[in-house]
Every structure is written in structure tokens, then in C-alpha cells.
Structure 1
């Protein structure tokens, strides 16, 4: 058993060294050559009860450096019971861009977000489709960054970075660091043409490729995964045309979860799609990460011995420097001192939600979903 723990942890150490090298390379090799700003963009924002947040995003879109005449915004109002619809309608007069609201009935759809995106695409006119969420904020160069990468690389899909808005609380800091590990590792996998994760809060893909892979067909009955299932389908056909956008201007900031109960439901929602992946490489990586963190829990029991200390050193050392690089890129260098705390907690989190993913159902946006 001890030998197995050592082997798994050693591989995890090497894995993180690889992530560090790849992260540096993708940052260095990210070159976008200035191109025309003539691509018609469609920004799709699925929302449900976002009266507290939607106005900020609409105002951010009003400040875009990308020509307003070359992008449209569709807010897919998914059965909101608050004042979301009225806020969007009131902003239409102020919007410099074409702003549409698509009201969807609050029905019993098994995948309401996929439905909202699909219906939005049906009434859209953009060549490049960009999705985000109603509780997000974006920089003035957000659309420009995505469009210029699209033009320079002839991309089929672009995944751009997402992080949490800073609130200067310990709970918020933990979530920023934890989520940075997902963003960083997902970026590296994409650079190696082995994409395993992305986030619909900052995702772009062409209308042409969406139609070519038949959109969300094949996983309509899975509530989550409007981003990753689609990415896998596109990457299977065009592995060299799926890109991560390592541009600070492209970062989308979203709200962290306000408490442990909401965090639990969000992570359970994310974990619910793991068992539906049909890519053995993604599944194998998920199992490896699970076992690496399970090995750390075993090492905690051996902390008084040299073996336990050695295991923890292997797990945390290279991982720390990878997290440092990603968090620095996200603009949160002041959070680095909290990385060791998250590293100690993280194995419990991974094992807990890895086991929880085998269960069914979660609550999200006032709905019970599978």
C-alpha cells in the first residue's frame, strides 16, 4: 500500500511539473496578429433570477472597444420570477449594441441552460457565438480579445479564463485559488490538444461548427455540460482548432458562492457530468486526480513519519508553483500566501465530490435537476 501511494504521488509531482512547463509555453507562444474587426458576434446570456447582477454585465458590454454595430446580445430569460426581464427591457434604449430578450417558459426541461442557448442561437445572426452568465463582469477589451484570436488562428472554439470577483473574505479567497487550479489545468490540456474542461461563462465557438457537430445532441438529458460536452465534440473533429485564450483582458469575473450550501450544490452540479464522459482519456485523468488526493489523505494518517512528510512534499511542492503562476496571471498575486491552506483542504474536497458524483440530483436556481 505504501509503495502504491508513493508511486501515485510521484506521478502527480511529475504531472504538475508538466503543467508548469506547458503553462509557461502557452503564455509565451500566445501571439495574436492584429486583424479586421469585422466579425459579427453574438453574445448569449442565459439568465434566471439575475436582477442583482444583469445590469452590470449589460453596462460592461456598452463599454466594449469592439464596434457596437458588429455584435448583438441575446438575454435568454429562463423563467425568471424576479425583475430581470424589466431591467433588460429598460436598458434597451441605453444599449449601443443590438440587445434582444428571449423569454422562455418555465417548463420541466431536463437541461434548461442548453435549451436557452439553443433557442438563442436560432434567433441569432452572429458568425461567432460567445456565451457568458448573468452574474459576470467583463473588461472593455473582452470581445476584442476573443475576436482577434478567432481571426488569427481560424479557431473553431475558444475557451477564455474565468475567475471569481474579489470580496476580500477568506471563503472567497479559498474559492479563487481552488478554481484557479481548474482553469490552469484545463488551459494546459487544451494547449496539448487534449481538452478536458472549459466554462460556459467564457466560451466562444462558431455557428458553423455548432451546426456541424449537431450542437447539444447526444446529451440533452444531462442538465449540466452545455460547455464541456460540446467542446469534446468539436475537439474530436478539430483538435488543432480548439484554443485557450491566455489574455488578461479576456478574463470574465463571476460571483463566488456565498456560503457552503450554495458551493455544495454548484460543485455537485459540476460533478454530475463526470460519469457521462465518453472520452477515456478525460475519465482516466479524473481517476488519477482522485487517487492522488486520496493518497494524500492516507499520508495525513502517516504525518508523524518521514514517509508521510515526503508524500505531502511531493504533492504540494510542484502544485504550489503551478497555482502561483495561474493566480498571478488572474491578477490575484496577493492570494498566494493562502495557497498552502487550500492545498491542505483540497484533497478532502476532491475525494468527497468524487464520491458524490456517483449520486443523482442537485438543486440549482430554484430547480431540482438530474
Structure 2
């Protein structure tokens, strides 16, 4: 048993160190404001019951240093004042703001429907998606536009983190989320994209149509980001890139309730069954086994099946490379204060991965007041 655990942990250590080195080698993108061309950007914001936050995001868009953009807010039958707030804002907005009320019809993926209908109305060459509870900096769009001009990327994945942490639960979420953003960034840099986040995603409108949009994955509630990315990466190899620049960071809110956190993570974990590429599926299984290894080692040591040195080696092979990698990502995301929480996250995370890996096998979860499969 100890040999198997050491092999799994050793491979995980090599994998994490390769991510760490890839991040260190990845240059920070420097924005050249004197762009030769300025693509028209359509920012799409699918919303449902975001009355408390949507105006803050619209204010952020008002303050953008890039002017060639329009905004479509697709309201998915909100039961609060979201739509009326957006409509009122549109009447005085200095940028083109188009509220798009959606009918309250049953659909497997409300967010994919919202994005698809918005793209059908979009006039921009580039589609940029974010969420109604996000905050963006003034140079967000100009950084994306400049990066697109430099790389001609078909899809650009941007960094996402959480807003100010007020509780230990918030800090734990920040560290865990940083691991996902960092892993997605580095696998893109290695030419093997695995994950991204729809809160900060950009792709060519033409490419969305070329790959058939969400066809083939529209039966799943989740995956408006990763599953689309996999389709684009398959059609356009080497044209999916991560935008490493602090000005491109998008911030969103942490979950304040365990139920909300559970439903989101279960929704995320359920996507792996829809992967058509072997790599993300293999990575999901590998991460599950790697996090299970130290748990099995500790249980084996407590039951007397494994010795203490072997158990410590299994744990160390996971913790040390992981700490090095997570620290770099958190510093980039301007979350240096959360570095001290990494060890606690590492203590909890193996149990978390095992729990959600098993929970994802079941169907159904609640999201924004709807029960989805």
C-alpha cells in the first residue's frame, strides 16, 4: 500500500512543481495603450436576482478607460428589482447598455441560454462574460483588448478572485479558488487547457458560432465556461491563453452560507462527466486520488498498517509543492494576507475533494432559486 501511495503523491508533487515553474516562467503582460486597432467588445452579464450588486458592476463599467464596448444584461426572470435597476441605469448610461429580459421558461441551462441569446444580439467582435455580483477595475477591458491584439487568441481566460475576506471561511474559499485559477492558467501555458471561469472570459464572436456555441453541452446546467473552452481549444489548438496582468483581475463575492457553497461546488464538480477530452477527466481523477492518498496514509498509520515515516513522506510530497504554488498565485491575485491560511486549507482540502468528488455522482442541486440537474 505504501508504494502505491508514494507513487501517487510523488506524481502529484512533480505535477504541482511543474505548475509552479510554469507560473514563474509566464511573463506578466504589459499593456500597450497605443493599439493599432480597437476591437468592439460586447460585455455579456447573465443575471438573476442581483439587485444588491448589479449597479456596482455597471458603475465599474462606466469608469472603464476603454471606450469601444457595449453591455448586454440578460435578466433571467429575476424576482427582485434587478431588471428595473438596469433599465433605469440604461436611460442615463454613457455607454451602450441593453437590458435583455428573458422569458421564464424551463431550460436545462439558464446561463447558457442567456449567453446564447445575448450573443445573437451582440455587435462586438469580442464577447466578454462576467457575473452580476462581480467588480472590475478601470483597465479591465483595455487590458483584454490589448492582449487580444498582441496574441490574436481565440479565447482569453482572465484571473478571478474574491473580494475582501472577513471570516476564516472567506479566506479558505480564497485559497481554494486560487488553486483553480492557477491550475487553469498554467495548463493553458503548457498547451493543455483544463479549466477557466466565466466570470472573466473572452472569445471571438465568430469562433463561438464556428464551434456551434453550446450545442452538445447545452443539456448541462454548468459548463458555459470550461466546456466551451474545450470546444474552442479542440478547434483552435494553441489559441487559448491566460491573461496574466493584475489589471485584468475580476473580483466576486464569497459564499456566506455553507448551502450556497455546497451547491456551487457540486455544480462545478458535476462537469467532469461531460468532458470529451481525456486530459481534464484524467486530471480530475488524478487530483481526487492525490488528495485521497494522505487521508488513506493517516488512516493506515492510525490502524497500524503504515509506519510514521512513510505517512509523513506521503503528506510532505503533497503539502510542500502545493504551498509554493499557492503562495505565488495568491500574491499575484493581491491576496498575500491569505497565504497564512494555506496550511489550514491543505488540512481540510483532501476531505473536501473526496466529499465533492462523491457528491458530484448524484444529480440535482439548487441554484439561484431553481432546482437543476
What is the TM-score of this pair, normalised by structure 2?
Answer: 0.96
Displacement of 1:215 after TM fit? Answer: 0.6
Contact 2:38 2:145 in 1 (8 A): no
Displacement of 1:20 after TM fit? Answer: 0.8
Partner of 1:322: 325
Displacement of 1:2 after TM fit? Answer: 1.2
Equivalent of 1:94 in 88, 92, 95 = 92
Displacement of 1:305 after TM fit? Answer: 1.1
Q: Does 1:338 align with 2:338?
A: no
Partner of 2:231: 233
Partner of 2:277: 279
Partner of 1:133: 131
Q: 1:22 to 1:187 in 2, by over 3 A?
A: same
Q: Does 1:365 align with 2:363?
A: no
Displacement of 1:31 after TM fit? Answer: 5.2
Gaps of 5+ in 1: none
Displacement of 1:287 after TM fit? Answer: 0.7
Q: Does 1:77 align with 2:75?
A: yes
Deviations 1:93-123 (A, max 9, x none): 3321100000001111111100000000111
Partner of 2:351: 348
Runs of 4+ residues deviating >4 angstroms: 31-34
Partner of 2:2: 2
Contact 2:30 2:245 in 1 (8 A): no
Displacement of 1:27 after TM fit? Answer: 2.9
Partner of 2:13: 13
Structure 1 SS opposite 2:161? strand
Aligned length: 367
| Aligned pairs for 1:24-35 within 5 A | 24-27=24-27, 30=29, 33-34=32-33, 35=35
Contact 1:37 1:66 in 2 (8 A): no
Deviations 1:264-288 (A, max 9, x none): 0000111111111111111111111
Give the CA RMSD over aligned residues: 1.2
What is the TM-score of this pair, normalised by structure 1?
Answer: 0.97
Displacement of 1:134 after TM fit? Answer: 0.2
Structure 1 SS opposite 2:238? helix
Aligned equivalents of 1:225, 1:197: Cα separation in 2: 10
Gaps of 5+ in 2: none
Aligned equivalents of 1:279, 1:132: Cα separation in 2: 25
Aligned equivalents of 1:132, 1:197: Cα separation in 2: 16
Partner of 1:171: 169
Q: 1:240 to 1:53 in 2, by over 3 A?
A: same
Aligned equivalents of 2:84, 2:256: Cα separation in 1: 25
Partner of 2:217: 219
Aligned equivalents of 2:126, 2:200: Cα separation in 1: 13
